[in-house]
Amino acid sequence: MWNNIFTAIDEQYESMVNTRRYLHQYPEVSFEEKETAKFITSTYDRLGIPYESNVGGNGILATLKGGKPGKKVALRADFDALPIQEENRVDYKSKIDGVMHACGHDGHTASLLGLAEALLPFQEELPGTLVFLHQHAEEYAPGGAKPIIESGALDDVDAVFGTHLWVNTPLGVIQTSRGPFMAGADRFHIKVKGKGGHGAIPHQTKDAIVIASQLVTSLQQIISRRVNPLDTAVLTVGTFEAGDAFNVIADSATITGTVRTFDASVQEMIIEEMEKIIKGTCTGYDADYDFDYLKGYTPVINHPEEADLILQDAPKADASLITEEVEPSMAGEDFAYYLENKPGAYYFTGAQIPDHYYPHHHPKFNFDERALPHAAKTLIQAYRSYQEEHN
């Protein structure tokens, strides 16, 4: 049966590509994915697979109950896009101004829908129950995973698996780790409130640009001098906004950025050190400030046994695939919340286009569509392996 399923997935390739390209043309940002959700539910209506919509927001859970006893396992795909103006010159370019699928979620959705269609003829032979978990709002905290979990819709699920099409990884390579896999991702916002004035009379001002510049430099020293070198952490300043004219000293400056960690105690230490540095620097310059720190997604920590199923068994789905255990990525993912509640694992499916490397969230991001069946095959192989391990 399983070989026939893998063949059926290959036969869905053209359909997956068409689905992906349609979704790519009509992206919707986090929490606004109404039309995308309708497209997903219309597919399950056509297939006759029952589903629950509006789960935790715009989430959708479709259920395929096999004819044989087994566990209930969820396979997740996210479907939101990003507020980015696409720069690719492709015939399926985004038709929505300022919005783009720049992270591959259109491909995740296409893979899962293609898998559902491929599996339908084999329903009576399948063990257990498969939940097709279509999640909204992965890109923007608080995200879609938490409200889906809080809805109780996954309470009776035994395990959850998910994959991300990954353009850093060559086609045909599957990557994961048996523990920490992706970092916790936080945001911060600092506004320095000084005193503006004429550029020729600096001694009568409190130069917000100078103060904020000092903060940018000092904040980097938290990682280099306060975090244990054996721990992993990143502090990145992403924006610096100040001033309106070349000859005017700015009265305020705003910097925003992100902190990435794997350990809660390291996270708390960084927050405390940031508070000290911001307060001390601004006090030294006799300036005021606002400091807002938003704790985002927690780290993605794979369960070792479930990660083993990916590393050991993914090639059973396709002999051309190879698996690698890799060091954790500092990118963030709200799949973390599923793994805090259920056994499971998250992994990367290689989707790199040779000679077209633009990273995730870039206006020219794109991926090799031949990775679509790889994602579908490895997801159902994870389902199969889990059933065999626990039945």
pLDDT at 349 over 90: yes
Taking domain 2-182+299-390, whether its CATH number is 3.30.420.40 is answered by: no
Cis previous bond, 142, omega within 30 = yes
Average pLDDT estimate for 346-369: 96
Residue-wise pLDDT for 157-173, tens only, equals 999 999 999 999 999 99
Tens of pLDDT, residue by residue over 161-217, are: 999 999 999 999 999 999 999 999 999 999 999 999 999 999 999 999 999 999 999
Measured N-to-C along each axis, helices 208-225 and 264-284 cross at an angle, to the nearest 10 degrees, of 150
The band of 391, judged by pLDDT with boundaries at 50, 70 and 90, is confident
Q: Would the pLDDT of 82 be above 90?
A: yes
- Of 197, 192, 186, 194, give the one whose Cα is nearest residue 218: 192
Percent of the chain predicted with pLDDT > 70: 100
What is d(CA 314, CA 380) in angstroms, rounded to the nearest whole number? Answer: 9
Q: Report the distance separating Cα 161 and Cα 147, nearest Å.
A: 18
Mean pLDDT confidence for 225-239? 96
Q: Is 156 within 8 Å of 69 (Cβ atoms)?
A: no
- Tell me which of 28, 33, 78, 80 is the catalytic residue: 80
80 classed as catalytic: yes
What is the predicted pLDDT for the residue at 27? 98
Confidence class for position 100, pLDDT limits 50, 70, 90: very high
User: What pLDDT is stored for residue 217 in this prediction?
Assistant: 97
Residue 124 annotated in active site? no
CATH architecture of 189-297: 2-Layer Sandwich (3.30)
Burial class (CB in 10 A: 0-12, 13-18, 19+), 291: middle
Query: Span 126-131, mean pLDDT?
Result: 98
H-state helical runs in 240-294: 264-284
| Boundaries of every domain in the chain | 2-182+299-390, 189-297
Q: Catalytic: which of 78, 106, 138, 369?
A: 138
pLDDT given for residue 37 in this prediction: 98
For range 362-369, the mean pLDDT: 98
Q: Checking phi first, is residue 189 left (phi over 0); if not, alpha (psi -120 to 50) or beta?
A: beta
The pTM assigned to this predicted structure is: 0.94
Q: In the prediction, which pLDDT does 126 show?
A: 98
Integer distance in angstroms from the first to the last C-alpha of the chain?
17
Cα–Cα distances in Å, from 99 out to 23, 41, 276, 363, 365?
12, 22, 38, 10, 13
Task: Report pLDDT digits (tens) over 303-343.
Answer: 999 999 999 999 999 999 999 999 999 999 999 999 999 99
